[in-house]
Structure 1
């Protein structure tokens, strides 16, 4: 038989690892996503539809990374939330929005690759940057609406078991938990995944057809962009699928399909670990841009050259200005010495 007293020990062990992990993920993710946004925003060429979607996804990931340090500090202090009720709501609203927005942006960028490769001769408004920006705005609004319960029910309350003022999700009843899980599973997984799977199948078929024809039917730039999208998609599914599975099992637990102390421990720990694995996706994506995206690396080099040239130009200007001022001072000094010499004569 399993000893339920191990429940507390397991939580203490997990809590001891969480702050360091969240801190590392947030630092790596902030730096990586900031670099990605710099490259996409400062490039010379106009943004493509894929760039619009990827920049919005990087923005969502960056916002997520900015929120994780709050929880790293909170967990390290025994779940004591010391940032006030407003930040309790806003931080968790941003974290909740991140998943919905990221998966929908990824779905759209996969659809864009599908239209570019499988339907290259069929004009579509979805392949226009102006329409892509409007769609992104609609997704941000939708993500906020889907996360509205977090804004309403997240609050700082005293938790007697922990003995601290904690930032908790205080739903009026457990039915809200089921509704939240079902919404997340359906809109954040079951709906996008079939769309992504369908598009991916035809994308791979188009790439194979292009390879069989000597790459004449598929432009090289399109292939490189598609390889990057497929890599981002694979990592997303790897990082977030366990979390959705655990949400489904948590919903079954509400209906008491499964019972027992051991099952409760496995479910609670599994939800935590799978959630943190999902968070790491936001930190991994920038590395995929640089590792898989050869075209992106080329653009990154161009942007960094511009930045280096800009600062080098400023440094050269300051050096020349400083030298000119010194020469002027030296000339004035020599002139004053000559005047003094003449005056003495």
Structure 2
């Protein structure tokens, strides 16, 4: 598997090069304003993307924070389904908090002032929480399947304690699975 930098404009496609220290994979500043797509300059596209990112951040932060607050402030809302949803909201919050770094990488693709370690850490965290969200959706779907198809067995199998333990395993699995892949 290559470094992902075979294409000279790979930072446009992926948002950031897989190998943060590879300077051959970055755009040149002079190309920034000259790239056009369907009559729109790269500047106009970046402005549109920035507006969309900001809206996603605002609504995403609000919705996920409210989800966490509702589940944790209302004891009757702490069923296994809502525990999955609140944990997934934490994962989504972490994704949203990384969006400003993605925006920075889009606007300034040739400079990364935070160093190679922070670059790799943000890439790891981004992949980890994305994988964690996928695992949450998968296990929540499985839990709902069991509850619908075998409701009596699900009552004994799907306890809060087991759900909390499984959520912890999901987080550990997402982080360790991501570490092994990178």
Report deviation, 1:75.
1.7
How far residue 16 of structure 1 moved from its aligned partner, in angstroms, is 4.2
TM-score by length of 1: 0.38
**Structure 1 residues 52 and 79: alpha-carbon distance in aligned structure 2, compared to 1, 3 A threshold:** farther
User: What is the Cα deviation at residue 86 of structure 1?
Assistant: 2.9
Residue 95 (structure 2) aligns with: 64
**Structure 2: how far apart are the matches of 1:86 and 1:117?**
46
Structure 1 residues 135 and 24: alpha-carbon distance in aligned structure 2, compared to 1, 3 A threshold: same
Native 8 Å contact 1:96 1:147 kept in 2: yes
- Distance in 1 separating the partners of 2:180 and 2:110: 21
Q: Which runs of 5+ in 1 are unaligned?
A: 1-6, 153-345
Confirm or deny that 1:136 pairs with 2:175.
Answer: no
> CA separation of 1:87/1:30 partners in 2, compared to 1, >3 Å: closer, same or farther?
farther
Structure with the higher fraction of residues in helix conformation? 1
My pick for the range that moved more, 72-81 or 109-118, is 72-81
Q: Which residue of the partner structure matches residue 107 of structure 1? A: 138
Instruction: Report if aligned partners of 2:128, 2:175 keep a CA contact under 8 Å in 1.
Output: yes
The 3 A distance-change label for structure 1 pair 123 and 38 is closer
Match of 2:56 among 11, 25, 39: 25
Give unmatched runs, 5+ long, in structure 2: 1-33
Q: Which has the larger radius of gyration?
A: 1
Q: Distance in 2 between matches of 1:9 and 1:27?
A: 29
Per-residue CA deviations over 1:135-177 (Å, capped at 9, x if unaligned) read 1111111111232268x6xxxxxxxxxxxxxxxxxxxxxxxxx
Residue from 83, 91, 95 that aligns with 2:126: 95
- Number of residue pairs the alignment of both structures matches: 146
**Deviation per CA, 1:259-284, whole angstroms, max 9, x where unpaired?**
xxxxxxxxxxxxxxxxxxxxxxxxxx
Question: What does the per-residue CA deviation read over 1:301-323, in whole Å, with 9 as the maximum and x for residues that have no partner?
Answer: xxxxxxxxxxxxxxxxxxxxxxx
RMSD after superposition:
2.6
Question: 8 Å contact 2:53–2:99 — kept in the other structure?
Answer: yes
1:218-229 matches, cutoff 5 A: none
Structure 1: which 4+ aligned runs deviate by more than 4 Å? 123-126
